[in-house]
Amino acid sequence: MPRFLAGDELGNIKSLTCTYSEKAGETKAKVTTLYDGTESGKDRSIQAMSVAPDGTLRSLFLDASSHTSHTSVLPMRLCDWRLSPDEKAFAYAGDEVELSIWDAEAAFTAKAKPNTLENETKKRKRADDLLPGETWRAKNVANDTLNLRQPVRNTCLTYLSASPSASSSASHHHLAVGTQFGNVRRYDTRSARRPVADWKGIAKVGGIKAIEKGPHEHDLFVADHGCNVYAVDLRNGRVVYGYQGISGAVNSLAVSPTVLASSALDRYLRIHSVFPPPTNSGDQQEKKGQVVEKVFVKSTPTVIVWDRDLKNVEGPRADMEDEDDDDDEDVWEGMDDAEDDESDEEGARAKRRSKKSSKTA
């Protein structure tokens, strides 16, 4: 089973590991504290990128002898920032900040062009002009029915593609963005600056709090400001199933190839089972995910991530299917034996009746 790493409000880093028991047929989770945030948490980082509230992007390298850092300037009021899976680009979005993609290396090396007399005489700079190091920026959706501008309230984002394909350019990305209005928008940087899909009303309570791409091709997991976590079909934006039994607002999601992990404000770390959407878009979902295990922690967790170790991704799904098949075979064999016993009893009764009838005759 995979391992997840969770951080809490006190700066602690904890490990969430899952084990599957074949005899008991259940999943058990265990939490251990790896680093104490008050003592050694700050000394365990090797390289880190951080974004300050004032828009300062900092890349920090920590060595045993010296500490070096590089800084850059980003817009303020950012709500989410993500590094691409290939670590060559990053994306951000926020309050009145449209989705933007940057080159990770150029963000620290590119500099603004000097203001010359020719530049000063030109028209004022357009709001959608790219900044140094910025490769792509989204455009706001169309005006509403009253022809009024719609506010930009982006709350979270995630990459939908693991990495750019070999046939496409390195700047081609698929992303999904959650908004404060409960919408989920899908972007394709190769297609257009506006979202290629805008699914409204996904969140039931408040806006979208967390969003993560699922392990299968067309699934996306979304959490709102209530106690709801949904699996969404990326082909049509339809909610295929939701998870029951969550008593706190989920603030972070992490996906592995076999299970989904979540952290919530009720101080629980949960493990969820996942199933792919139906083969044909719009069909009924047969199997639905559920909470298979939860562990209480003393401090409120703030984020959870998968450690991306592929050696421990085997889940209980294959074992469970094999056990189910064996159980089904046992049931059918038992039914065959019962039918044989019933047929033997009926034959014996028929013989007794024939003997009685012959005696009376």
Task: State both tokens at 127.
Answer: 């709001």
pLDDT at residue 318, as a whole number? 38
Burial zone of 333 (CB within 10 Å; 0-12 exposed, 13-18 middle, 19+ buried)? exposed
- Provide, rounded to the nearest whole percent, the portion of the chain with pLDDT above 70: 68
The answer to whether the CB of 247 falls within 8 A of the CB of 227 is yes
Task: State both tokens at 26.
Answer: 């259940």
Average pLDDT over residues 27-37: 84
Residue 317 has pLDDT above 80, yes or no: no
DSSP output for 219-280: EEEEEESSS-EEEEETTT--EEEE-----S-EEEEEE-SSEEEEEETTSEEEEEE--PPPSS
Closest CA to 241 of 198, 280, 278: 278
pTM attached to this predicted model: 0.77
pLDDT at residue 29, as a whole number? 86
pLDDT at residue 45, as a whole number? 44
| Reported confidence tier of residue 320, pLDDT bands at 50, 70, 90 | very low
Residue 57 has pLDDT above 80, yes or no: no
pLDDT, one tens digit per residue, over 344-361 is: 666 666 666 665 555 555
Residue 220 has pLDDT above 90, yes or no: yes
Q: How many DSSP H helices and E strands does the chain contain?
A: 3, 23
pLDDT, one tens digit per residue, over 269-294 is: 999 999 999 999 888 898 999 999 99
pLDDT at residue 186, as a whole number? 97
Compute the radius of gyration of the chain from its Cα atoms. Answer: 28
Residue 68 has pLDDT above 90, yes or no: no
pLDDT at residue 108, as a whole number? 79
Q: What is the dihedral of CA 240, 160, 261, 85, to 10 degrees?
A: 170
Is 219 or 24 the better-scoring residue by pLDDT? 219
Task: State both tokens at 286.
Answer: 């047969």
Q: Mean pLDDT, the chain, as a whole number?
A: 80
| Reported confidence tier of residue 118, pLDDT bands at 50, 70, 90 | low
pLDDT at residue 242, as a whole number? 96
| Reported confidence tier of residue 337, pLDDT bands at 50, 70, 90 | low
pLDDT at residue 277, as a whole number? 93
Average pLDDT over residues 129-141: 91
Closest CA to 169 of 180, 158, 161: 161
Task: State both tokens at 69.
Answer: 């850092």
Residue 55 has pLDDT above 70, yes or no: no
pLDDT at residue 98, as a whole number? 96
| Reported confidence tier of residue 39, pLDDT bands at 50, 70, 90 | low
- Provide, rounded to the nearest whole percent, the portion of the chain with pLDDT above 90: 50
pLDDT at residue 54, as a whole number? 66
pLDDT at residue 132, as a whole number? 86
Average pLDDT over residues 24-41: 74
Average pLDDT over residues 207-223: 96
**Diameter of the chain measured on Cα atoms:** 129
Residue 119 has pLDDT above 50, yes or no: yes
pLDDT, one tens digit per residue, over 181-208 is: 999 999 999 988 999 999 999 999 999 9
